[in-house]
Amino acid sequence: MSGWSGRVLHVDLTSRSVRKEVLHERVLRNYLGGRGLGIYYLLREADPECEPLGSENVMIMSVGPLTGTSAPTGSRYMVTTKSPLTGAITCANSGGQFPAALKKAGWDALVIKGRCDDPVYLWIEGEEAELRSADHLVGLTTHETEDRIRQETHSKIKVACIGPSGENLVRFASIMNDKHRAAGRSGVGAVMGSKNLKAIAVAGK
CATH code for the domain in which residue 95 is found: 3.60.9.10
What was the pLDDT predicted at 56? 97
Say if residues 193 and 169 touch (Cβ distance below 8 Å).
yes
d(CA 120, CA 146): 14
d(CA 173, CA 162): 8
Say if residues 142 and 176 touch (Cβ distance below 8 Å).
yes
**Does some domain include residue 2?**
no
What was the pLDDT predicted at 73? 81
Residue pLDDT tens, the chain, 205 long: 578 889 999 999 999 999 999 999 899 889 989 999 999 999 999 999 999 999 999 999 999 999 988 888 888 999 999 999 999 999 999 999 999 999 999 999 999 999 999 999 999 999 999 999 999 999 999 999 999 999 999 888 999 999 999 999 999 999 999 999 999 999 999 999 999 999 999 998 7
Residue 181 phi/psi, 5° resolution?
Answer: -110, 140
CA distances from 2 to 50, 61, 67, 131, 153 (A): 36, 20, 12, 29, 31
What is the domain range of residue 198? Answer: 7-203
**Does some domain include residue 1?**
no
What was the pLDDT predicted at 1? 54
**Does some domain include residue 13?**
yes
Residue 133 phi/psi, 5° resolution?
Answer: -60, 140
What was the pLDDT predicted at 47? 94
What was the pLDDT predicted at 71? 87
Q: pLDDT tens across 119-168, in order?
A: 999 999 999 999 999 999 999 999 999 999 999 998 889 999 999 999 99
What was the pLDDT predicted at 205? 76
**Does some domain include residue 50?**
yes
d(CA 76, CA 42): 19
Structural domain count of the chain:
1
Helix (H, G, I), strand (E, B) or coil at 35: helix
Residue type, 77: Y
Q: How many H helices and E strands in the chain?
A: 6, 12
Measure CA 159 to chain center: 10
* pTM for the model: 0.96
Say if residues 80 and 41 touch (Cβ distance below 8 Å).
yes
d(CA 96, CA 98): 6
- Strand 109-113 and strand 7-12: the pairing is parallel
Where would I find the H helices in the chain?
25-30, 33-45, 98-104, 142-152, 164-167, 188-194
